[in-house]
Amino acid sequence: MSFTGIFHFFTNSPCDAAEPWQLGSQDAATPMMQGIIDLHHDIFFFLILILVFVSRILVRALWHFHSKKNPIPQRIVHGTTIEILRTIFPSIIPMFIAIPSFALLYSMDEVVVDPAMTIKAIGHQWYRSYEYSDYNSSDEQSLTFDSYTIPEDDPELGQSRLLEVDNRVVVPAKTHLRIIVTSADVPHSWAVPSSGVKCDAVPGRLNQISISVQREGVYYGQCSEICGTNHASIVVEAVSRKDYGSRVSNQLIPQTGEA
Amino acid sequence: MGEIELKTAPADFRFPTTNQSRHCFTRYIEFHRCVAAKGDEATECEKFAKYYRSLCPGEWVDRWNEQRENGIFPGPL
Ligand SMILES: [Cu+2]
């Protein structure tokens, strides 16, 4: 941890942002991401099994059939038993990988329960606007705000470079959220690694993702589509349901006073 | 202010896919058909309005409203 890193720790600790030289995934905030991490570990089990086994065969072959040790080449062309084995086993292993993989894939698509709220995330060049319109009683009034990335040259001490935004999306934790992702100009995307979500934002199309953030916190993401020079960051702040009510009525509405 | 009631358009079995564009469009049409059939003051249409406002981007609704005023709305009303 560098000197500024220490400040980082004290001013605000972005527990759910990527850190330098990070190898694994960010901590899961949704059951979906937990599933992805578990699947990754499951597959890694097979991966290491295969790696060890194949390396062993390779090293043994190089060792035992070295020209100095074994100057006369073997004349065996094929062996039925080993050919059956090395066909059947490699076809069973992908099955063991595919079953949990498809189970996860389809469960992620499925909307199991009715969502409790809808947030619209609309990509623009280069910011994002969010609409909370569950409470609207007319077409005009809507809780809409823009979320701009804090420019590279003026993040405050402790803020992550090109990851922080001026207005965060506030969502209630432990609630089924429907996020409608779309774009107003070029294709963008809405991706937050710790929520396990990466969804294309296509103009003229509404893509739905359903997530349920399990713990309160601040989650960082970025546009994952090559949409221009400034990919807009995404910051999701999950708060308790209780706090959510006051945040929506106090914080978000004044900011959208002119909109 | 404490806890607020969270309520939104329910998941619709007609639109089980990730793509919800039709969901929004259908709810918008349903509302205007309902109003056409039951009159402006009918309270049972209000839920469709809530649904489409939850699902459709404001920009889309504005454009459709404009198109309806000009009589060039592309959907069956
Ligand atoms: Cu973008």
Which CB contacts under 8 angstroms, 24+ apart, belong to B25-31? B25/B56, B25/B75, B27/B51, B27/B52, B27/B55, B27/B56, B28/B52, B28/B56, B28/B61, B28/B64, B28/B75, B29/B75, B29/B76, B29/B77
State how far the Cα of B69 lies from the Cα of B22, in Å rounded to an integer: 21
Half-sphere exposure in the Cβ direction for A242 (13 Å, CA): 0
**Which residue is listed with tokens 């004290």?**
A10
The answer to whether B28 and B56 have CB atoms below 8 angstroms apart is yes
Ligand 1 centre to CA of A227 (Å) is 5
pLDDT digits (tens, 9 = 90+) for A137-156: 777 766 788 888 887 777 67
Cβ <8 Å between A122 and B57: yes
Cα separations (Å) of A88 from A94, A95, A97, A121?
A: 11, 11, 15, 47
**pTM, two decimal places:** 0.80
Ion ligand 1 neighbours, Cβ < 5 Å: A 188, 223, 227, 231
State how far the Cα of A94 lies from the Cα of A125, in Å rounded to an integer: 42
Average pLDDT over residues B16-30: 91
Is any Cβ of chain B less than 8 angstroms from the Cβ of A30?
no
Q: What is the average pLDDT value for chain A, to the nearest integer? A: 83
Tell me the pLDDT band of B3, cut-offs 50, 70 and 90.
Answer: low
Q: Which residues in B lie closer than 8 A to residue A250 (C-beta atoms)? A: 1
pLDDT digits (tens, 9 = 90+) for A69-100: 888 877 888 889 999 999 998 899 899 899 99
Q: What CATH number does domain A117-258 carry, 3.40.1010.20, 2.60.40.420, 3.40.50.360, 1.10.10.10?
A: 2.60.40.420
Tell me the pLDDT band of A40, cut-offs 50, 70 and 90.
Answer: very high
The answer to whether A177 and A211 have CB atoms below 8 angstroms apart is yes
Query: In this structure, which amino acid lies at residue A15?
Result: C
Cβ <8 Å between B58 and A207: no
Nearest to B6 among A116, A131, A182 (CB): A116
Distance of CA A85 to the CA centre of its chain: 38
Structure tokens at A217: 């916190």
Residue A67 in 3-state DSSP? coil
Domain boundaries along the sequence of chain A:
31-109, 117-258
pLDDT digits (tens, 9 = 90+) for B27-74: 999 999 988 888 777 788 888 888 999 999 989 999 999 999 998 888
Domains and CATH numbers, chain B: 21-69 (1.10.10.140)
Nearest to A120 among B11, B23, B57 (CB): B57
- Is the predicted pLDDT of residue A158 greater than 60, yes or no? yes
State how far the Cα of A162 lies from the Cα of A128, in Å rounded to an integer: 14
**Which residue is listed with tokens 């991966």?**
A47
State how far the Cα of A129 lies from the Cα of A6, in Å rounded to an integer: 33
φ, ψ (nearest 5 deg) of residue A92: -80, -40
Chain A, nearest residue to B7 by Cα? A116
Cα separations (Å) of B52 from A124, A158, B61?
A: 22, 41, 9
Residues 214-253 of A with CB under 8 A from B: 241-242, 244-246, 248-250
φ, ψ (nearest 5 deg) of residue A198: -145, 110
The answer to whether A221 and A180 have CB atoms below 8 angstroms apart is no
Query: In this structure, which amino acid lies at residue B21?
Result: S
Distance of CA B28 to the CA centre of its chain: 3
- Is the predicted pLDDT of residue B13 greater than 80, yes or no? yes
* ipTM at complex level: 0.86
Taking the CA of residue B1 and the nearest CA in chain A, the distance in Å comes to 5
Taking the CA of residue B28 and the nearest CA in chain A, the distance in Å comes to 11
